[in-house]
A = this chain, B = another copy of it.
Amino acid sequence: MTPAASLVFTTLLSHGPLTRTEVARRTKLSPAAVTKAVRPLMELGYLVEGVDEAARPAVGRPANPVWVDGGRALFIGIKITGDEIIAVLADLCCRIRESRHVRLTGREPEAVLPVITALVQELLTEADGFGVRVRGLGIAISGDVDREDGVVRYSPFLEWRDVPLAEIVGTATGLPVTVDNDVRALTVAEHWFGAGVGRSNFALVTVGAGIGCGLVVHGRVVSGAHGVAGEIGHLSLDPLGPLCHCGNRGCVEAIAADPAILHAVRAATGGQVTDMAEALKLAHSGDPGVRDIYARAGETIGKAIGFLANILGPELVIISGEGLAAYDLVSEGIRDAFAASAFGTAAQCDVMTRPLPFEEWARGAAATAIQSFMGSDTYEE
């Protein structure tokens, strides 16, 4: 697909039925370029054209709306967490048709890969019921991922290093596989369907087991020249702060991620606390030491978002992730530290929260598979 066709396709994905004129206006392409991009996609059945009699002009071409035919193809999206695998079957409009959760019994590739393969087979069987082919599989995983080569270079949670995931799963399932960093995949979904629709410059910050960040600049997700981008979790903000697994001190992740908070709460309370739910309960019961730990986490996240705003000047920062469960405890710190560290008009950036369940991350993985499919030569099959 040409860049223009890809732009037209994603514009129709995000904004639903639009006339060609409206597509041209939104994409800043010429009407001729839009028509040229639309034609082969209509011939292949990925786009359909309706007839809107009311909008038909007295003279000139009819202003018929065009939209993506969601039912024309299916995709599977998988999000791997440290504890479970979430898989969705999504259509070409990235609407979720089926979803599955499976607990993991181990984190090594030998334990995780058979679970993925079994889930994919299950969803392929479901897909048969729809009578439509599954055209691609997207896998989202945290860490340093080389999407082009399909290799998980380093995933700290799973302790994976240099796993050629696309090749392994592709061989096992027969599907074209796209592997991407999980936050980047979620950012694609937010850009196409979420709070990022119509935004050319925004950041998605995820807080929870880790601290992640996906970036859209000039309308496209930033991947980094060497695969690392949006890595705010390892900004070392406090030279005297706690040691991080990366070797530095005072990284955002070493202060504000769930394991860091749990570690600090244990140290402050003498070790009785076993999980985040208990830590949260203690904070909500008013324990001042525990509340301070959350407040510091909030300040650290807010400062990191301020740094992001100073460097990129996004119009919007979306905060999401399972860490939102503690948002009442961290929000003041985030707000104040962001305001203090953002320079000048960078502070005008909107900061919002948005809960996104793990299905949405898996949907992001499916979105990356749709990207790959539409960017490949095989979409014409």
A316 to nearest B CB, angstroms?
A: 8
A230 at interface by CB-CB < 8 Å: yes
A224 at interface by CB-CB < 8 Å: yes
Q: Provide the A214-248 mask, 1 if CB < 8 A to any CB of B, else 0.
A: 01011110111111111110111011000000111
In the complex, the chain B residue whose C-beta lies closest to that of A217 is B217
Q: Provide the A23-39 mask, 1 if CB < 8 A to any CB of B, else 0.
A: 00000101001000000
B-chain residues with CB within 8 Å of residue A33 when the two chains form the complex: 33
Say whether A229 contacts B344, CB under 8 Å: no
Say whether B144 contacts A231, CB under 8 Å: no
Say whether A346 contacts B226, CB under 8 Å: yes
Q: Which stretch in A58-66, A172-180, A306-314 binds the other chain?
A: A306-314
A129 at interface by CB-CB < 8 Å: no
Interfacial residues of chain A within 257-307, with CB under 8 A of chain B in the complex = 303, 307
B-chain residues with CB within 8 Å of residue A219 when the two chains form the complex: 218
Please tell me the size bucket of the interface on A.
Answer: 35 or more
Say whether B28 contacts A222, CB under 8 Å: no
Say whether A232 contacts B153, CB under 8 Å: no
A154 at interface by CB-CB < 8 Å: yes
Chain B CB count within 10 A is highest, among A144, A238, A311, A344, for A311
Say whether A226 contacts B341, CB under 8 Å: no
Q: Which residues of A contact B (CB under 8 A)?
A: 2-3, 28, 30, 33, 144, 153-154, 201, 213, 215, 217-220, 222-232, 234-236, 238-239, 246-248, 303, 307-315, 340-341, 343-346, 348-349
Instruction: Given contacts A226-B315, A231-B311, list 8 more A-B pairs with CB under 8 A.
Output: A144-B345, A153-B345, A217-B222, A222-B313, A224-B345, A226-B346, A232-B311, A307-B307
B-chain residues with CB within 8 Å of residue A307 when the two chains form the complex: 235, 307, 311
Q: How distant is the Cα of A26 from the Cα of B235 in the complex, in angstroms? A: 36
Return 25 A-B CB contacts under 8 Å, by A number: A2-B30, A33-B33, A217-B217, A217-B222, A222-B312, A224-B314, A225-B315, A225-B348, A226-B345, A226-B349, A227-B345, A228-B309, A228-B310, A228-B313, A229-B311, A230-B311, A231-B343, A231-B346, A232-B310, A234-B310, A235-B341, A238-B239, A239-B239, A248-B340, A308-B311
